[in-house]
Chains A and B, each alone.
Chain A
Amino acid sequence: EAGVTQFPSHSVIEKGQTVTLRCDPISGHDNLYWYRRVMGKEIKFLLHFVKESKQDESGMPNNRFLAERTGGTYSTLKVQPAELEDSGVYFCASSQAGTGNEKLFFGSGTQLSVL
């Protein structure tokens, strides 16, 4: 079974540019999450999809970040325009539907560098 896949693995862009990150969750997983780790600090929650609906987007830093999950399959996270402080590793995770406390499966992450 394929795991959570993220693309690209690395992205280097200049301040002001746009970047789109993609996540393909494990097939059949209704829950999809985005997390971010900045500069070796804690991994922070960004948002949670249940199928195509945003369940919780309380962790999104500001309106420069836009996440979508059309059709309830893969998800994209767009940063527009990117700022220096957006640099970090963006992780996607997925889990099966349930009542909570399901195991999260993480992708390898996208290392974003904004210069």
Chain B
Amino acid sequence: DQQVKQNSPSLSVQEGRISILNCDYTNSMFDYFLWYKKYPAEGPTFLISISSIKDKNEDGRFTVFLNKSAKHLSLHIVPSQPGDSAVYFCAASAWGNGNKLVFGAGTILRVKS
């Protein structure tokens, strides 16, 4: 039973344009959501997070939007750069679960120059 789903295995975007990565979840107990970025042969690195009490969090070129009623979140990267090419994982956790993250399967982002 996959509680966090990233339905797009890959996404290709032109440099300078917006990248939108999507994530859906099913567990209504999730109250904290994160995006991790992963380069080949490296571990995932934290990118941005959002608490369920917010609907938007922004950090430079990266913005995460949360729609609790739809159980959907998205990551916007504007403008996209070739160095953003990586696998992006959506993750979620529930309060009191000790940082036990539930990950999606990842979306491969390719930013073409």
**What residues of chain A have their CB less than 8 Å away from a CB belonging to chain B?**
4, 31, 33, 35, 40-45, 48, 50, 55-56, 59, 91, 93, 95, 100-109
Say whether chain B's binding surface is mostly helix, strand, loop, or mixed. Answer: loop
Nearest-Cβ distance from residue B54 to partner chain A, whole angstroms: 13
Contact between A100 and B93, CB atoms less than 8 A apart: yes
Nearest-Cβ distance from residue B1 to partner chain A, whole angstroms: 11
Contact between A43 and B44, CB atoms less than 8 A apart: yes
Q: Is B105 located at the chain interface by the 8 A CB criterion?
A: yes
Sample 15 A-B pairs with CB under 8 A, ordered by A number.
Answer: A35-B103, A42-B89, A43-B106, A48-B99, A50-B98, A55-B98, A56-B97, A93-B43, A100-B95, A100-B97, A101-B99, A103-B46, A103-B49, A104-B46, A108-B42
Which of chain B's residues 66-113 have a Cβ closer than 8 Å to chain A? 89, 91, 93, 95-106
A42 to B100, CA, bound (A): 14
A29 to B4, CA, bound (A): 27
A7 to B56, CA, bound (A): 38
**What residues of chain B have their CB less than 8 Å away from a CB belonging to chain A?**
2, 4, 32, 36, 41-46, 49, 51, 89, 91, 93, 95-106
Contact between A45 and B2, CB atoms less than 8 A apart: no
Nearest-Cβ distance from residue A61 to partner chain B, whole angstroms: 16
* CB neighbours of A31 from chain B (8 A): 98-99
A56 to B98, CA, bound (A): 8
A35 to B103, CA, bound (A): 10
* CB neighbours of A103 from chain B (8 A): 46, 49
Contact between B100 and A45, CB atoms less than 8 A apart: yes
Closest 5 CB pairs of A and B: A106-B43, A43-B103, A42-B105, A42-B103, A106-B44
* CB neighbours of B99 from chain A (8 A): 31, 33, 48, 95, 100-102, 104
Contact between A41 and B43, CB atoms less than 8 A apart: no
Contact between B4 and A109, CB atoms less than 8 A apart: no
Contact between B98 and A100, CB atoms less than 8 A apart: yes
Contact between B101 and A45, CB atoms less than 8 A apart: yes
Contact between B101 and A104, CB atoms less than 8 A apart: yes
A59 to B32, CA, bound (A): 20
* CB neighbours of B41 from chain A (8 A): 108
